[in-house]
């Protein structure tokens, strides 16, 4: 079930019907329409609670990109959203819907944090590499097991990944309360790592080359996120493995006839997906918190679904969508300080509506918009073009 | 002897209280999923129900109006799900997820703006909560061993929604095995093309199913905030919607096994509260988290076919496209 459903998302999102519909309709216009619909409905919610939606939106954007420090915060949120957006997207490309990004990111944070705890006194590049490796390993393991269960035992990946989110939460609570807790501490978190192994913040790193920017949680993991986008593109569209994954996602039966093993690729795609989600731990734990704590993921795995849907599962789209949600997260948090009636959960309303319009209701605007463009191109192209479009 | 009986009765009582919203939500999903519409949006619909029940009960003082509002809100969300999945043949999992995230944002946003109590509703006074039903004859039966205490602790003073849930279970069993509507719902989840050929509307049947799902999740939400609790608090459902989904799968999409799964999951919860820090023979103290994750682990194992086998309705998750 999950597979067929997820195939719908990727398959239809990418399937360009024959005729004269320009590519940007699918990649730019439709996401924009979806966003406008989501924002309009969120505006209604703001009206209901008695504020002016345009004022709130203007303040939100100013607080997110209006001054350098805010941009740093926005990009810090964007970093995690890129990781989880890529994670959801790679699974989508294999026809799988990975709702387990939350749990995979949580365990990725455990991996990164264990490196931070263990490498006291080491130089930070070593710790950074170690954190990337171990967070990827932990996240990949937490993704690959549901992948294996789907591929070899036929379990719904959607259900299994939901269950794995809860299992991950329980394991992390146990570890933080009973095992890793700082001795003598009341709150369930580890000790702070040695400052020498912290992942440098962007302001510090740019300070080395003489560029001064205001301090913010934005750290070097942002560059790793951008690198992951490039690697994601190369892997999916320029390697044999990526080709195999996409083939399985498009048509599992055709893949079998082509000698491609669906099971192997499902497990591989889920492992990569989990590893990407796990990198959230590098940003959050090594870059910002510098200790392992409860619930540091805060729904980032679910935002990844919105990011992947908006970004059409393509790295460039994912960067833009992650930026959008970064703006919402940072701006939304700030708006709640200015308006006593608005709180930051309002951002989740927008996220939910984006997922609804860009994902579940993707067929709401698409046929109408495409019909509009088909009619227009027929009117303009006259005889030969119109004939081809009708087929 | 009496003490042991009392402990058992208290455990059973706690199990029933925890199980009630699970049963309501799991049976809600039963209708939808047996009709071929996957619903992972139980959590969101319950949360909406919990919020609107508490909000309306708190401002009108009438819990029944609250119950009505909960059902209305939850049905509205169910119709959104139906509009996306049935009318527009959208992805059912994505739609459910969207509803969960939407409500997780909407409920605290509205609570914050309307009540200014940090995302809660005010504490409900007793008369604004759904009543418990006091049965006659507690005094008369109290002298009888076993039966007296069972009647007093377990059956008397149960919330009205608990009784409603009992009725629901029986009615659902009857509906799915004996009634024309129930058999049609099952058929539409297994082979919608056959139902269509028989001249019945697949769309109509599936909408009816998701509306029932909405009604029941609304009641489940109202139970949380106006029967079990006394007001809405942030994240009130705390994963119960997903746990109900697990129970439905654990019950293999059938009424009685689903009821059993809900009771089992609720029982582990009740036991976990009692077992905190208590050493057991052989294994010693079990960390509560391991008991808490038990339902999820069991569901994963069951789905993987390591304990039994759960097979979903055949057309589950697949939008029905009439032949063209």
Find out whether B115 and B254 touch, Cβ atoms under 8 Å: no
Check the CA dihedral A368-A370-A371-A377 and report its sign.
positive
Query: Given an 8 Å threshold on Cβ–Cβ distance, is A356 in contact with B98?
Result: yes
Query: Given an 8 Å threshold on Cβ–Cβ distance, is A359 in contact with B91?
Result: yes
Query: Given an 8 Å threshold on Cβ–Cβ distance, is B93 in contact with A349?
Result: no
Nearest chain A residue to B287 by CA distance is A174
CA–CA distance, A282 with A287 (Å, rounded to integer): 6
Q: Which residue in the set B95, B97, B119 is minimally distant from A99, CB to CB?
A: B97
Residues comprising chain B, all counted: 324
Average pLDDT for B284-305: 83
Q: In the prediction, which pLDDT does B119 show? A: 79
User: Which of B79, B83, B90, B284 is the mutation pick for testing A, counting most A CBs within 10 A?
Assistant: B90
Q: In the prediction, which pLDDT does A166 show? A: 93
Average pLDDT for B115-138: 84
Q: B143 pLDDT exceeds 80?
A: no
Query: Given an 8 Å threshold on Cβ–Cβ distance, is A49 in contact with B290?
Result: no
> Which CATH number is B2-303 given?
1.10.3470
Averaged pLDDT, groups of 10, chain A, 391 residues long? 41 49 81 89 90 90 91 96 97 94 96 94 94 97 95 88 94 92 87 92 90 91 97 96 95 93 96 97 95 92 92 94 93 86 85 88 84 75 42 32
Average pLDDT for B87-113: 91
Shortest distance between the Cα of A89 and any Cα of chain B, in A, equals: 13
Query: Given an 8 Å threshold on Cβ–Cβ distance, is B293 in contact with A341?
Result: no
Nearest chain B residue to A365 by CA distance is B88
State ipTM: 0.89
User: Which of A4, A5, A56, A181 is the mutation pick for testing B, counting most B CBs within 10 A?
Assistant: A5
Q: Measured between beta carbons, which residues in chain B are less than 8 angstroms from residue A96?
A: none
Domain residue extents for chain B: 2-303
Tell me if residue B191 falls in helix, strand or coil.
coil
Shortest distance between the Cα of B302 and any Cα of chain A, in A, equals: 9
Q: Which residue in the set A302, A309, A343 is minimally distant from B119, CB to CB?
A: A343
Q: B54 pLDDT exceeds 50?
A: yes
Residues comprising chain A, all counted: 391
Q: In the prediction, which pLDDT does B151 show? A: 79
pTM of the shown model? 0.88
Place of tokens 């009973």: A178
- Distances from the Cα of B169 to the Cα of B27, B28, B221, B254, angstroms: 8, 11, 17, 11
Q: Measured between beta carbons, which residues in chain B are less than 8 angstroms from residue A351?
A: 101-102, 105
- Which of A190, A367, A374, A198 shows the shortest CA–CA distance to A282? A198
Q: In the prediction, which pLDDT does B179 show? A: 94
CA–CA distance, A97 with A87 (Å, rounded to integer): 10
Q: Measured between beta carbons, which residues in chain A are less than 8 angstroms from residue B101?
A: 299, 302, 306, 348, 351-352, 355
Q: Which residue in the set B93, B105, B306 is minimally distant from A97, CB to CB?
A: B93
- Distances from the Cα of A221 to the Cα of A129, A201, A287, angstroms: 11, 9, 7
Flag the least confident range among A262-271, B132-141, B224-233. Answer: B132-141
CA–CA distance, A113 with A160 (Å, rounded to integer): 25
- Which of B4, B107, B105, B198 shows the shortest CA–CA distance to A349? B105
Query: Given an 8 Å threshold on Cβ–Cβ distance, is B94 in contact with A359?
Result: yes
Q: Which residue in the set B101, B249, B305 is minimally distant from A159, CB to CB?
A: B249
CA–CA distance, B53 with B65 (Å, rounded to integer): 8
- Which of A346, A262, A273 shows the shortest CA–CA distance to A305? A273
CA within 13 Å, CB half, B266: 22
pLDDT band of B1, cuts 50, 70, 90? low
Place of tokens 């669906």: A262
- Which of B189, B33, B38, B106 shows the shortest CA–CA distance to A97? B38
Q: Which residue in the set B89, B101, B114 is minimally distant from A351, CB to CB?
A: B101
- Which of B15, B19, B24 shows the shortest CA–CA distance to B272? B15
Shortest distance between the Cα of A199 and any Cα of chain B, in A, equals: 31
Nearest chain B residue to A162 by CA distance is B242
CA–CA distance, A372 with B180 (Å, rounded to integer): 44
Q: Measured between beta carbons, which residues in chain B are less than 8 angstroms from residue A4?
A: 317-318
Find out whether B26 and B243 touch, Cβ atoms under 8 Å: no
Reported as a single tens digit per residue, the pLDDT across B242-258 is 999 989 988 889 999 99
């Amino acid at each position: 079930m999950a597979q067929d459903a997820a195939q719908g998302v990727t398959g239809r999102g990418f399937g360009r019907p024959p005729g004269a519909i320009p590519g940007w309709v699918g990649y730019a216009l439709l996401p924009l329409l979806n966003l406008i619909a989501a924002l309009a409905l969120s505006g209604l919610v703001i009206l209901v609670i008695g504020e002016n939606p345009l004022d709130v939106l203007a303040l939100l954007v100013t607080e997110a990109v209006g001054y350098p420090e805010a941009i740093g915060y926005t990009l810090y949120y964007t970093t995690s959203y890129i990781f989880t957006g890529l994670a959801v997207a790679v699974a989508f490309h294999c026809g799988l819907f990975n709702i387990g990004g939350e749990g995979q990111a949580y365990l990725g944070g455990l991996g990164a944090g264990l490196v931070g705890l263990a490498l006291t006194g080491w130089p930070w590049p070593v710790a950074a590499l170690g954190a990337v490796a171990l967070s990827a390993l932990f996240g990949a393991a937490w993704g690959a097991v549901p992948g294996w269960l789907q591929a070899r035992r036929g379990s719904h990946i959607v259900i299994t990944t939901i269950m794995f989110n809860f299992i991950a939460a329980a394991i992390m609570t146990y570890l933080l309360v009973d095992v890793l807790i700082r001795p003598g501490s009341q709150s369930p978190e580890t000790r702070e790592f040695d400052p020498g192994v912290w992942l440098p913040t962007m302001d510090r790193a740019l300070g080395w080359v003489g560029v001064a920017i205001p301090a913010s949680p934005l750290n070097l993991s942002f560059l790793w996120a951008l690198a992951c986008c490039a690697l994601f593109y190369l892997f999916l569209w320029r390697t044999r493995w990526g080709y195999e994954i996409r083939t399985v996602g498009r048509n599992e039966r055709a893949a079998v006839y082509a000698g491609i093993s669906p099971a192997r690729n499902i497990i591989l795609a889920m492992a990569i997906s989990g590893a990407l989600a796990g990198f959230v731990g590098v940003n959050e734990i090594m870059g910002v918190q510098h200790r392992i704590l409860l619930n540091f993921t805060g729904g980032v795995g679910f935002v990844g679904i919105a990011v992947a849907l908006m970004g059409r599962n393509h790295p460039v789209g994912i960067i833009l969508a992650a930026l959008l949600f970064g703006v919402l997260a940072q701006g939304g948090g700030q708006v709640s300080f200015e308006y006593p009636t608005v709180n930051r959960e309002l951002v989740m309303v927008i996220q939910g509506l984006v997922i609804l319009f860009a994902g579940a209701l993707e067929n709401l605007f698409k046929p109408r918009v495409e019909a509009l463009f088909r009619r227009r191109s027929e009117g303009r192209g006259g005889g030969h073009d119109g004939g081809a479009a009708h087929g | 002897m009496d003490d042991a009986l009392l402990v058992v009765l208290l455990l059973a009582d706690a199990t029933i209280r925890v199980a009630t919203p699970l049963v309501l939500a799991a049976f809600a999903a039963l209708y939808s999923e047996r009709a071929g519409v996957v619903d992972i949006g139980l959590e969101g619909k319950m949360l909406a129900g919990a919020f609107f029940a508490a909000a309306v009960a708190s401002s009108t003082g009438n819990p029944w109006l609250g119950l009505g509002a909960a059902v209305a809100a939850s049905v509205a969300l169910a119709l959104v799900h139906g509009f996306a999945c049935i009318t527009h043949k959208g992805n059912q999992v994505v739609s459910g997820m969207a509803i969960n995230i939407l409500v997780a944002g909407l409920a605290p946003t509205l609570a914050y703006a309307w009540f200014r109590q940090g995302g809660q509703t005010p504490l409900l006074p007793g008369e604004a909560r759904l009543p418990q039903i006091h049965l006659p004859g507690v005094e008369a039966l109290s002298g009888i061993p076993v039966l007296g205490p069972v009647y007093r602790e377990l059956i008397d003073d149960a919330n009205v929604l608990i009784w409603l849930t009992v009725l629901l279970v029986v009615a659902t069993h009857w509906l799915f095995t004996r009634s024309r509507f129930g058999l049609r719902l099952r058929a539409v989840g297994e082979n919608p093309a056959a139902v269509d050929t028989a001249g019945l509307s697949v769309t109509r049947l599936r909408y009816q199913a998701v509306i029932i799902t909405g009604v029941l999740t609304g009641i489940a939400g109202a139970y949380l905030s106006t029967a079990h609790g006394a007001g809405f608090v942030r994240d009130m459902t705390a994963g119960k919607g997903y746990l109900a989904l697990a129970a439905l799968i654990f019950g293999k999409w059938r009424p009685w096994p689903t009821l059993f799964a809900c009771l089992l999951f609720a029982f582990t919860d009740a036991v976990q509260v009692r077992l905190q820090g208590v050493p057991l023979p052989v294994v010693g103290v079990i960390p509560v988290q391991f008991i808490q994750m038990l339902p999820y682990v069991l569901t994963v194992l069951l789905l993987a076919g390591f304990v039994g086998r759960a097979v979903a309705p055949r057309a589950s998750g697949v939008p029905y496209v009439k032949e063209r």
